[in-house]
Every structure is written in C-alpha cells, then in structure tokens.
Amino acid sequence: MRTHVVDHPLVAHKLTTLRDARTDSPTFRRLADELVTLLAYEATRDVRTELVDITTPVAETTGVRLSHPRPLVVPIIRAGLGMLDGMVRLLPTAEVGFLGMIRDEETLQASTYANRMPEDLSGRQVYVLDPMLATGGTLVAAIRELIGRGADDVTVLCLLAAPEGVERLEVELSGAPVTVVTGALDERLNEQGFIVPGLGDAGDRMYGTVS
C-alpha cells in the first residue's frame, strides 16, 4: 500500500480553516469541496489513458483521453458525499457508485447498510471518498468489497489520516492494490477513536448533528 501526503501550501491553508471549531457548515462544505479537487489532482496522476488522434485548427496530432472501462468514484455515505462534487469536477466522465457504512461507536466496527455499485468491477480503477481515515475499519470493509468485485486499483482520498488507520490498512490489506492520498497525517487517535488534532466529526461539520 502506498500513502501519499499532499504537501502543498493551499492544502495546508484550507485544512487549517476546516480544523477551526468556529468554521460554520456552509464554509466547511465549500472548503472541503475545494480541498478535494486539489487532492484529486494528485490522486489521478496514474489514471489510465489511451492515445487518440485529433485534428486541431492547425494540424493533426495525437493526444490522450481516459480509457475504458471508465473510473468509478465511490463516496462513503454520508460524509463522503461532501467530497463528490470536488472529485467529479476533475473526472466528469467517471461513473459514481455509493456505499453506506456506519461505525458502531462502542466496538468501532463498520457495517454496510446501503450498496449501489456495479457487480463486476474487473479492470476498473476506483476512487473511494471518505473524509477521515481514523481507525481504518470503514475503509478496510469498503476496499474489501471493491476488490471482491474485481477492482484492481483502489485509491482512497481523505482529508485527514491517523497513523493507526494507515497501519491497519497496511496490515489488513497487505498486497492489495491500494493507494491513500490525504491532506495530512495527524498525530494519533484519542480514546473515542477521533483523530487528534483532527477536525471533529466530518459529517456533523458538513451537515449538522442529526439524532
């Protein structure tokens, strides 16, 4: 597994405002959207392309276009939905699937409650959107589902990651074709499984607290 921390001043600038407890939900959503586009630029460096002949107003030439099968973007509901627009802005021809996953706050184990994806992902590059790589349980379960359907290249985009979560992915997905692209690698997890210093619950920060 590869982990890539995007070292860019604009990423650090936007993350600082996202971390601030005073940032309201509309501002949080806008900045998260902008940040995802920056992360997506790095995450799609190895997106698969094919050569294509075109005619410009001046001459014939050869360029590149995204190859088939098209990439699949999979946000983890609900917080991952806040990252979707920023991703498809860069990959407008990608298809979109959805995974609804919930974490038991006592056991920290993830379970799936909604699944809307192609049954066969053979030969597909998949981009998974989840704002926080904390304990790693949700992403391990999601990636296993994708690989079980035949995905042969999975890239995870997250705003923040904790060392414990990265280590869990490395151990439990050893040998799997997985890359993690994140805006920062934070210090640790606290006793409640939240990233420190982190930014709190990304879903609640984006959409408000729901009971």
Contact 206, 32 (CB under 8 A): yes
**Residue 208: pLDDT band with limits 50, 70, 90:** confident
Q: What is the mean pLDDT of residues 62-78?
A: 93
Could you report the per-residue pLDDT of 85-101, keeping only the tens digit for each? 999 999 999 999 999 87
Task: Identify the residue with better confidence: 66 or 209.
Answer: 66
Q: What is the predicted pLDDT for the residue at 203? A: 87
Q: What is the mean pLDDT of residues 50-61?
A: 97
User: ∠139-142-143 over CA atoms, to 5°?
Assistant: 85
Q: What is the mean pLDDT of residues 39-43?
A: 95
Q: What is the predicted pLDDT for the residue at 108? A: 59
User: ∠176-140-131 over CA atoms, to 5°?
Assistant: 115
Could you report the per-residue pLDDT of 153-182, keeping only the tens digit for each? 999 999 999 999 999 999 999 999 999 999
Could you report the per-residue pLDDT of 95-147, keeping only the tens digit for each? 999 998 776 666 656 777 788 989 999 989 999 999 999 999 999 999 999 99
Inform me whether the pLDDT recorded for 210 exceeds 70.
no
Q: What is the DSSP string of 155-182?
A: EEEESEE-HHHHHHHHHHTTTS-EEEEE
| CA Rg value for the chain | 18
Distance CA 3, CA 88 (A): 22
Contact 39, 207 (CB under 8 A): no
